[in-house]
Chain A
Amino acid sequence: MDQLLQHLVNGLVLGGTYALLGIGLTLIFGLMNVVNFAHGEFYTLGAYAAFAALALAGLPFFAAIGAAIVVGMAGGAVVERVLLRPLAGESIDTTMLVMIGLWIAMQNAELLGWGGVAQSIPHPFPTAPWTLGPLGIAPLRVFVFATALALIGASHLLIQKTRLGTAMRATFQDRDTAALMGVRIGRIHAVTFAFGSALAAAAGALLGPIFLVYPSMGDLASLKAFCVVILGGLGNIVGATLGGLILGVAEELGAGYVSSGYRDAVGFVIIILVLLLRPSGLFARAERIG
């Protein structure tokens, strides 16, 4: 029982960052109809940006995470401007192949720049876990979970309460009508891609100190993000949040009770099962944003 609780706690912490990854992807996928296989590379970018800010520029830990988010946002904006905007109107297959090309290019650029050796991001939290009865949790993980939840909350507010968010929701529901109502679709796409990439970078900067930072870390992150999107339903932020938590807990339970070697298979199996049994996601009444 204690063990189960411990797995649940660990899974929720992991799931928070999966949710961040998934929200970014579900917005890009749902709103822009771009299958962003490079999403995990922004996660990697965020992790390396945090590492560089800390180790090379000497910024404090919290500023480094902020810097990673800014770098992710800027990277996303550049990619949208250079690669996606010229392809507006092309088929979804073409942009998907373009994002696959970007994925390979970014990953190997990082490999060339940083080398294949895994780096660890130093953090200021004590390593001794806080204990509550039989449960133990590292303070770093608490910080990561709290930050992830705060970012998710902020995203939700942005989408639901601001003018920009209203325009995004309108674009998702019906692009042409939104454009007729004066929404500048091009700008909404730019903002969406930059915002989604910033969230992925935030996830990378947050998980970087817990795990290690290495060039191919984005591969699994991409697939987990897709898993979350598929669980939650396209463009569904609440669904993506719940999907992230479900994936985190399922992985932790799978690793704990089935086999740790198959931890990463959990996401794959979920993708296959959900797509076969309930392709619109677990929480979808209709595809929607918000």
Chain B
Amino acid sequence: MRRLGLGALALLLLTAPVWLASPYHLHVLIMAGIFAILALSLNLLLGYTGQLSLGHAAFFGIGAYTSALLALKAGWSFWPALGAAAALSGAAGWGIGRLALKLRGAYFVLVTISFAGVISLVSVNWMELTNGPLGLPGVPPPDLGPWALRTKGAYYYLVLAAAALAYGVCHRLVHSRIGRAFLALRENEPLAESVGVDVTHYLVLAAVVSAALAGVAGSLYAHYTRFVSPEVFLFSYTVTMVIMVVAGGKGTLAGPVVGALLFTVLPEALREAVSWQWQMLAYGVLLLALLFFLPRGIVPAVARAMRPARTVGVRSRSAPGARGEPE
């Protein structure tokens, strides 16, 4: 049953350019894919290590600028530029992880916000490199061998592959020794440390992978919109990622993907009816409502609703809240 559902989903995603007639709908799916990578990346930190990064737009922006600048000024083609974007964002994540490794909770949040603030100001003020607020137009589309991926259909498959890869990376990571170390840190750091989990090592690792994934999303975004400006550092990007992760279900693999789809498709569907400001207001109210009424997110709630029979047997063994939120 489960396998059948996954197969149907894969088929649906793979054939999307065929049955989605309008290029606009395809565009929405492409953006959903890019945001899915971002949400997966944020979830590694927020969901699995319990550290909230409110500077995630910085890693996204660093990826976008790196890729765009290498393509425009050094004439690199897309693939090495993508690699460099991931590497530089990952390096920034390493730096933040190393610096902030002693900080938890609110203080970690503040360091990540401040980091994003500084980077954003650099992108505005370093005119020679970034062209300031005017941005960098004319980022070339990616090419694959002899083909340039100019069409939306081709780009869709690129983003789909990247999102699947990001999901795969997160899946491998979470279901390995490393993932169990993340969870141990999230649930009880002193206990984890006492049984030999190297806190510093794993937090830095989570930050590096998370930042590199966000950098990949940034590069994909830059080569898709063909334009990069300081707007990639907008706080609303980070807010959108947080909402996607919290709504979908932090600390689950499917949650961020579901959240990303929901919060890219839904706003586009409502675009006719409500303006952008109403949408942001709705995001804020929705985040509040989710935290009050569905604190664990959509995916865990649905999963629980779908198999009520099994939870009865399990309940006696797992203490309530054992798989709950951080703290």
Contacts and interface: CB of A to CB of B under 8 A. Distances in A.
Interface of A: 29, 35, 83, 86, 91-94, 96-98, 100-109, 111-112, 219, 223, 226, 230, 259, 261-262, 264-265, 267-269, 271-272, 275-276, 279
B14 interface: no
Given A111-B281, A265-B117, 20 more contacts: A86-B292, A92-B106, A93-B326, A96-B106, A96-B109, A97-B242, A97-B287, A100-B239, A104-B280, A104-B284, A107-B280, A230-B110, A261-B121, A264-B121, A268-B114, A268-B115, A268-B117, A272-B111, A275-B100, A279-B103
Nearest to B99: A276
B118 A91 contact: no
A259 to B, nearest CB: 7
B125 A261 contact: yes
Contact of B280 (A108, A264, A276): A108
A100 to B, nearest CB: 7
A96 B114 CA distance: 17
Contacts of B114: 223, 267-269, 271-272
Contact of B99 (A29, A35, A83, A272): A272
A91 B327 contact: yes
B113 to A, nearest CB: 7
A264 B242 contact: no
Nearest to B283: A104
8 contacts: A35-B106, A101-B285, A101-B291, A102-B284, A108-B281, A112-B277, A223-B113, A271-B111
Contact of A93 (B50, B102, B278, B288): B50
Nearest to B127: A261
Interface in B42-56: 50, 52, 54
B277 A94 contact: no
A97 B105 contact: no
B103, B106, B115, B277, most chain A CB atoms within 10 A: B106
Nearest to A216: B235
Contact of A94 (B239, B286, B325): B325
B178 interface: no
A176 to B, nearest CB: 18
A264 B125 CA distance: 12
B24 interface: no
A112 B291 contact: no
A267 B114 CA distance: 8
B284 A271 contact: no
The secondary structure that dominates the A interface is helix
A156 B318 CA distance: 50
Contacts of A267: 114
A111 B109 CA distance: 25
Nearest to A99: B288
Interface in B110-147: 110-111, 113-115, 117-118, 121, 124-125
A93 B291 CA distance: 11
A100 B242 contact: yes
Max chain A Cβ within 10 angstroms of own Cβ: one of B111, B246, B288: B288
Size category, B interface: 35 or more
A98 B100 CA distance: 23
A231 to B, nearest CB: 12
Given A108-B277, A261-B125, A100 B287 contact: yes
Given A93-B327, A272-B99, A104 B239 contact: yes
A96 B327 CA distance: 13
A265 B281 CA distance: 28
B121 A105 contact: no
A262 B325 contact: no
Given A91-B325, A98-B288, A101-B288, A265 B121 contact: yes
Contacts of B79: none
A219 B52 contact: no
A153 B111 CA distance: 31
Interface in B266-300: 277-278, 280-281, 283-288, 291-292, 295
Contacts of A271: 110-111, 114
Contacts of B111: 271-272, 275-276
A276 to B, nearest CB: 6
Contacts of B50: 93
B308 to A, nearest CB: 26
Given A259-B125, A269-B118, A279-B107, A104 B287 contact: yes
B292 to A, nearest CB: 7
A32 B109 CA distance: 18
Contacts of A230: 107, 110
A94 B113 contact: no
B281 A105 contact: yes
Contact of B102 (A94, A98, A264, A279): A279
B288 A105 contact: yes
A104 B283 CA distance: 7
A175 B207 CA distance: 35
Given A94-B291, A94-B325, A272-B114, A105 B277 contact: no
